[in-house]
Amino acid sequence: MTSVTAPAARDTVLAARGIVKRFGALTVLHGIDLSLTSGEVVAIIGPSGSGKSTFIRCMNMLEVPDAGEISFRGRRVVPRFRAAGETLGLGELRRHVGMVFQHFNLFPHMSVLENVIEGPVTVQRKPRAEAVDIAMDYIAKVGLAEKRDARPDQLSGGQKQRVAIARALAMQPDALLLDEITSALDPELVGEVLGVVRNLAEQGMTMVLVTHEISFAADVSDRVVFMEAGRIAEEGSPDRILHNPDNERLKTFLARFH
């Protein structure tokens, strides 16, 4: 049935196969498989310590897996900055796959605009004027045009996180990985950040989001993955995973949110 599988394979942006990760004697990931199709939004849920962050970090090789492989548009990623041919190096992977973290990781001494043009100027070697144009586009998209000259310490947590999203978008990535990006925010600031993510989903951005916002995950994602103790315990449509789960641990996990 290659005629059926070939188009789907071509459309795969980022894929993880058999990912195993150990920290010393502790095996944190026991062989994770996850493929991300162009335009797809996958939400990863699961208890604290189940390996969600380790896995999403493996997807852009911030953690190098002990076994298994990551591929980007069919090219296997190798843990070296540069690579060629059938393989892809970390430099190129990071240009195509953006990541946003729980704790923003903005450069504290730089303005909003300087934070957002940093990648395009230093990594992509774009002329500054062009980088500023692109950056202002995304800064406006996340609703912070009037804050372009502010420093991070002059912003709320929600605004900082929106800058972090704009910074990732300014690299014009093929996919975005979001690791609990609302977990460090005061509850009243969560909505503005989720609103930005929702817009991205509607515009067709390919994304993996690790989140504790279960109803948001159900709402914006095409597929929900439940991780438990370093394994994918169940995955499926948001509706089935959240309303008709098979896995006992998933049922217990979801009961906490009702």
Q: Which residues bind ligand ADP (CB under 6 A)?
A: 23, 28, 46, 48-54
Q: At its nearest, how many Å lie between ligand ADP and the CB of residue 67?
A: 16
**Do the Cβ atoms of 45 and 58 come closer than 8 Å?**
no
Choose between 18 and 204: whose C-beta lies nearer to ligand ADP: 18
What's the CA gap between 225 and 234, in Å, rounded?
6
Q: Which does 48 bind (CB under 5 to 8 A by kind): ligand ADP, Mg ion, none?
A: ligand ADP
Q: At its nearest, how many Å lie between Mg ion and the CB of residue 201?
A: 21
Residues of this chain that bind Mg ion (CB under 5 A):
52-53
Choose between 54 and 159: whose C-beta lies nearer to ligand ADP: 54
The SS3 assignment for 229 reads: coil
Choose between 48 and 203: whose C-beta lies nearer to ligand ADP: 48
CA proximity to 183, closest of 193, 173, 175: 193
What's the CA gap between 171 and 125, in Å, rounded?
11
Please give the residue whose beta carbon sits closest to Mg ion in the complex. Answer: 53
Q: At its nearest, how many Å lie between ligand ADP and the CB of residue 52?
A: 3
**Do the Cβ atoms of 113 and 132 come closer than 8 Å?**
yes
Q: Which residues contact 138 (CB under 8 A, 6 or more apart)?
A: 116, 166, 167, 169, 170
Q: Which does 28 bind (CB under 5 to 8 A by kind): Mg ion, ligand ADP, none?
A: ligand ADP
**Do the Cβ atoms of 12 and 73 come closer than 8 Å?**
yes
**Do the Cβ atoms of 44 and 16 come closer than 8 Å?**
no
Q: Which residues contact 149 (CB under 8 A, 6 or more apart)?
A: 111, 112, 113
Q: Which does 3 bind (CB under 5 to 8 A by kind): ligand ADP, Mg ion, none?
A: none
Choose between 163 and 208: whose C-beta lies nearer to ligand ADP: 208
What's the CA gap between 175 and 68, in Å, rounded?
20
Choose between 17 and 30: whose C-beta lies nearer to ligand ADP: 30
Q: Which does 161 bind (CB under 5 to 8 A by kind): ligand ADP, Mg ion, none?
A: none
Choose between 1 and 25: whose C-beta lies nearer to ligand ADP: 25
Q: Which does 61 bind (CB under 5 to 8 A by kind): Mg ion, ligand ADP, none?
A: none
